[in-house]
Structure 1
Amino acid sequence: MSEGANREVHPAVFVLDARGHPLDPCHPARARRLLAAGRAVVVRHTPFVIRLKDRDAATSTVEGVQVGIDPGSKHTGLAVFTGHDGSRTGRYAIRLDHRGAAIRDRLTARSRYRRRRRGANLRYRSPRFLNRTKPQGWLAPSLRHRVDTTMSWVARLTRWAPVTAVHVERVSFDTHALSAGRPLEGVEYQQGTLAGYEVREYLLTKWGRACAYCGKQDVPLNIDHIHPRSRGGSDRISNLTLACIGCNQAKNATPVEEFLKDKPVLLAKILRQAKAPLWDAAAVNATRWALWRALEATGLPVHTASGGRTKWNRSRTGAAKSHTLDALHVGELESVTAWPSTLLVVTAAGRGTYARTIPDRYGFPRLVRPRSKRHHGFQTGDLVRANVPAGKKAGIHLGRVLVRSSGSFDITTRHGRVTGINHRHVRHLQRADGYGYKTRKEADRHD
């Protein structure tokens, strides 16, 4: 790597022309000068987007940007970068936090309510049998949510920046090939695809990135045969685990039953976990394939890669482990010159609920919500700025608003919640769009 590589830079500002067409992102300092000179106006607060008054995309030179996507079970990383000849420069980073677990819990609760109503002495409803077939490509709502929210943000980025290509991880690792029983012998076992990163990434995910015998984390981990090869153990992925250097040397060729004879609970756990498939990885892989098909439908050039290659790229550039840095390192690349020092954390919060009642623990309604969500022109979740001239709450409060029909609002700022703000002192910055936003520092670089 050349001197000055992997330096951290400020996140870029998205720029639109006078007609709303995307231009190349610019440095924040340049955006401030354009706003101060009156040549630009603010279009969006978060992410920050400006529109030039005196510029047209047809007469401007637009080089374009690319988007990297690292799909995950709970978080998805998105990176906007520019690059030439295999070198990439990160311009903006987004970590999208999914709410698949909340959707799953809501569906489970709905199923229990329905089961209870069917068993109770209520009005008769004729059974339905003709609407149970799932269409081809169907995904559970908690999985479909990951695809939809990711595609929603890809569409937003294409509106704010001239996206020319998308790079996405289509698989973390080939679970079918790893579990097919093919022996990992010779060079493939010692180094493997991309120096063993496919196999190691699978084992790191399955065993929680910790030693299976002592539970140590953040230490070098070796691949260990649960049943030693010298005693008839196979090279299947189901017979492999992770062990720290100390446990690996202490176990050596000792049968696992003898090595853990004083720890029967741990022995049973390891044997059970070794045979259990990696269900979460299979679900994520199914989601990634659906995401890839949706990206292909946009008409943008889509380049695919595996998680093993992403990890190999990070090991060469010295980047730390994070979803956004993984998104920056997806696919084929030679070097990464810089990445944003901060990232935007986008949390899928939903847009409320259709239910007008909240049930208690027995299923009886205990609260009735108003029909309208908007009061005095505001809705819960809007990003607002309140300027209170006098009183105990005097000052400027910036954050998310919680509305009431009485006109007395609460505002959640980064310092805490401020209650009892009159709606006359509140002004809109950005309307609620189903997401919560906050910024955080990017992961520290490791040597």
Structure 2
Amino acid sequence: MAVFVLDKSGKPLMPCSEKRARLLLARGRARVHRQMPFVIRLVDRVQAESELQPVSIKIDPGSQFTGLALVRHRQQVVHVLSLMELVHRGFLIKKALLQRAGYRRRRRSANLRYREPRFNNRTRKAGWLPPSLQHRVDTTMSWVQRLRRWAPVSDLAVERVKFDLQKLQNPEISGIEYQQGELQGYEVREYLLEKWGRKCMYCQVENKPLQVEHIVARINGGSDRASNLGLACGPCNQKKDKLAIEVFLKKKPELLKQILAKAKTPLRDAAAVNATRNALFSALLATGLPVEAGTGGQTKFNRITHGIPKTHALDAACVGTVAEVHGWASPTLAIKAMGRGAYQRTRVCASGFPRGRLTRQKVHFGFQTGDMVKALVTKGKKVGAYKGRVAVRATGFFNIQSGSSVIQGISHKFCAVVQRADGYGYAQNPTAEQEHGKAKALSRCA
């Protein structure tokens, strides 16, 4: 992964390799500006003395994840500098709003002073989006602006995907868009891959070619609606043939129940992408940079043509017109939107009754939940060095989350701040090649 570089006045320079960054720090020519993502600041150079190359931010927006790729490009040849995967929290926002609405509804229905409904006193502006959807646009634009501060970005590219929900439900009614050309069937197939988790719905096998499967066979009157389509590996598809799914899975009732329930899954993710696509595109145009818009079928076509594995970040690198892609086998920085805390003073049980109170203050002993800290414990049962995201406690004994593990009960006396909380959690994901190799090794062992 490339390291972001700033000049001595804080203006962006071309990113450099990790090796060069270590040399600059060791020789005293640079200082650490930020830990995650890693940014250094030179002490002996200004932007006017440096040669800058065309750098693009490519975006693959989604309902739950958004892929970001910082690339250097020349004549449609793309060199990947940094890959990021942004995890949204729209579902949590929606859940919190529904809970708040429940509290207000109870207060209005109780024997209390009458209060006018707030929505009757407000008007919505043109282009208004629900908070859970607006969050996706705001978070994506926040990271676009951050990358522009750390790299000399010259243009943007975004996958301006549009799901035609009617065509997804019934492809037979479509015209030549889905039935002619090199991209035939890509949009519907990509939807099915996302819906079924890129696994065979019968045996759950991964990393094998999957075929579009009719849950109710066409010979038995099944349609091409998306609710009747699934994915199956070749052996399972041939074994089921024209059997009714109830007969084929009569010995697996739980799996049958899951498949039938998932087949009727609503298209909420596709609807979320449709609702935010124009708002995100307008926000990108407002930056004043040139913006290239691509389609989802074009992105997948580029990825398969160049033999690149499927991830959200690598999809972003393949957005738009691409002739070649170099340097894509690099780790991805996972960025999870965590929020900045809540105003809620109590926790409640499933029935809505208080079950605990929260402290008024957010900062304890100079630390705040979300700060990235390093702890060197020299005595006690937890002797060792730890680094990660901290959760503070009024008692002075904190929890530190490092990767997927949580170390509890670390005294604040052993902790030191590495980076202040910014509303996000960070983790380094392995490269797509490493994940593919691990999956192959597991399949051989099985």
CA contact (8 A) 2:69 2:83 kept: yes
Deviation at 1:416, TM superposition (A): 3.8
Distance (Å, rounded) in 1 between the aligned partners of 2:261 and 2:359: 51
1:139 to 129, 141, 144: 129
| 2:47 aligned partner | 57
Deviation at 1:319, TM superposition (A): 1.1
Distance (Å, rounded) in 2 between the aligned partners of 1:176 and 1:187: 14
Q: Secondary structure at the match of 1:436?
A: strand
Quick check: 1:355 aligned with 2:344?
yes
Cα pair distance change 1:354/1:334, threshold 3 Å:
same
Quick check: 1:309 aligned with 2:298?
yes
1:19 to 9, 29, 34: 9
Amino acid at match of 2:77: S
1:162 to 152, 157, 162: 152
| 2:268 aligned partner | 279
Deviation at 1:362, TM superposition (A): 4.2
Where do 1:292-331 residues align within 5 Å? 292-331=281-320
Return 239-248 or 48-57, whichever deviates more: 239-248
Q: Secondary structure at the match of 1:47?
A: coil
Distance (Å, rounded) in 2 between the aligned partners of 1:422 and 1:268: 49
CA contact (8 A) 1:223 1:243 kept: yes
Deviation at 1:121, TM superposition (A): 2.1
Q: Secondary structure at the match of 1:130?
A: helix
Measured against aligned partners, the alpha-carbon deviations of 1:367-417 in whole angstroms (never above 9, x if no partner) come to 333322112322122112234455555554322223334544443445641
Measured against aligned partners, the alpha-carbon deviations of 1:159-194 in whole angstroms (never above 9, x if no partner) come to 1111111111111544455568765689963x6452
Amino acid at match of 2:301: W
Deviation at 1:344, TM superposition (A): 1.0
Measured against aligned partners, the alpha-carbon deviations of 1:410-434 in whole angstroms (never above 9, x if no partner) come to 43445641424143x4322100111
TM-score by length of 2: 0.83
CA contact (8 A) 2:392 2:399 kept: yes
Amino acid at match of 1:150: T
Deviation at 1:31, TM superposition (A): 0.6
Distance (Å, rounded) in 1 between the aligned partners of 2:271 and 2:176: 28
Amino acid at match of 1:102: L
Return 13-22 or 144-153, whichever deviates more: 144-153
Return 354-363 or 90-99, whichever deviates more: 354-363
Amino acid at match of 2:271: A
Distance (Å, rounded) in 2 between the aligned partners of 1:391 and 1:240: 57
Cα pair distance change 1:34/1:128, threshold 3 Å:
closer
Where do 1:176-187 residues align within 5 Å? none
Distance (Å, rounded) in 2 between the aligned partners of 1:60 and 1:26: 13
Cα pair distance change 1:112/1:172, threshold 3 Å:
same
Q: Secondary structure at the match of 1:67?
A: strand
| 1:110 aligned partner | 100
Deviation at 1:278, TM superposition (A): 2.7
| 2:334 aligned partner | 345
Quick check: 1:88 aligned with 2:78?
yes
Distance (Å, rounded) in 2 between the aligned partners of 1:226 and 1:391: 59
| 1:7 aligned partner | none
| 1:376 aligned partner | 365
Distance (Å, rounded) in 2 between the aligned partners of 1:375 and 1:186: 62
Give the length in aligned residue pairs. Answer: 431
Cα pair distance change 1:350/1:36, threshold 3 Å:
same
| 2:444 aligned partner | none
Unaligned runs of 5+ in 1: 1-10
CA contact (8 A) 2:365 2:412 kept: no
Distance (Å, rounded) in 1 between the aligned partners of 2:350 and 2:228: 45
For the aligned residue pairs, the C-alpha RMSD in angstroms reads 3.5
CA contact (8 A) 1:24 1:64 kept: no
Measured against aligned partners, the alpha-carbon deviations of 1:71-102 in whole angstroms (never above 9, x if no partner) come to 12221111111121221111111111111221
Q: Secondary structure at the match of 1:112?
A: helix
Q: Secondary structure at the match of 2:144?
A: helix
Measured against aligned partners, the alpha-carbon deviations of 1:133-160 in whole angstroms (never above 9, x if no partner) come to 4332222222111111111111111111
Deviation at 1:238, TM superposition (A): 7.1
CA contact (8 A) 1:192 1:198 kept: no
| 1:124 aligned partner | 114
2:428 to 439, 442, 447: 439
Where do 1:402-421 residues align within 5 Å? 402-414=391-403, 416-421=406-411
Distance (Å, rounded) in 1 between the aligned partners of 2:257 and 2:17: 56
Measured against aligned partners, the alpha-carbon deviations of 1:37-92 in whole angstroms (never above 9, x if no partner) come to 11110110111000001111012111141111111222111111112122111111
Where do 1:235-254 residues align within 5 Å? 242=231, 244-245=233-234
| 1:400 aligned partner | 389
Deviation at 1:331, TM superposition (A): 1.2
| 1:45 aligned partner | 35
TM-score by length of 1: 0.83
| 2:442 aligned partner | none
Deviation at 1:34, TM superposition (A): 0.7
Cα pair distance change 1:335/1:367, threshold 3 Å:
same
Return 350-359 or 237-246, whichever deviates more: 237-246
Deviation at 1:316, TM superposition (A): 1.2
CA contact (8 A) 1:64 1:161 kept: no
CA contact (8 A) 2:329 2:433 kept: no
Return 167-176 or 335-344, whichever deviates more: 167-176
Quick check: 1:288 aligned with 2:277?
yes
Cα pair distance change 1:23/1:261, threshold 3 Å:
same
Distance (Å, rounded) in 2 between the aligned partners of 1:276 and 1:406: 45
Distance (Å, rounded) in 2 between the aligned partners of 1:70 and 1:35: 34
Sequence identity percentage: 52
Cα pair distance change 1:358/1:234, threshold 3 Å:
closer
CA contact (8 A) 1:95 1:343 kept: yes
CA contact (8 A) 2:167 2:174 kept: no
Q: Secondary structure at the match of 2:120?
A: coil
With a CA cutoff of 8 Å and minimum separation of 6, indicate the structure with the bigger relative contact order. Answer: 1
Cα pair distance change 1:176/1:289, threshold 3 Å:
farther
CA contact (8 A) 2:162 2:277 kept: no
Amino acid at match of 1:84: R
Q: Secondary structure at the match of 2:91?
A: helix
Deviation at 1:328, TM superposition (A): 1.0
